[in-house]
Amino acid sequence: MFQLPQFYQEYLKKQFNLPQYLTLCLLVNLLQNLKTVRLEEMAKLFPYPIKLRSRIKKLQRFLSLKNWKVETIWFPILKSWIMNQ
């Protein structure tokens, strides 16, 4: 199982609640093994014991969260990464 670097984990835990953070971890691991990034393909392999259509909706809702803005997630991570290099 792939793990994000420690700084990413700490920062992302602050940005998401626990269920959202765990979903993110599952999604990152899933994407490591997929050859194509299609919502239907991700939902088929997503390890939730719910129907496929429900998994698709869950992923759609998760990926449309306001937390995914570049300013709130990626800029601080990139800034920290650059400063540590």
pTM: 0.78
**38's tokens:** 């299609």
Tens of pLDDT, residues 27-51: 888 888 888 889 999 999 888 899 9
Are 46 and 30 a contacting pair, CB within 8 Å?
yes
**What 3-state DSSP class applies to 84?**
helix
- Give the closest residue to 15 by CA, choosing from 54, 60, 70, 53: 70
pLDDT higher than threshold 60 for residue 1:
no
Residue 52, pLDDT score: 94
Mean pLDDT of all residues in 46-64? 93
Average pLDDT of the chain to the nearest whole number: 87
Can you give the residue ranges of every domain in the chain? 18-84
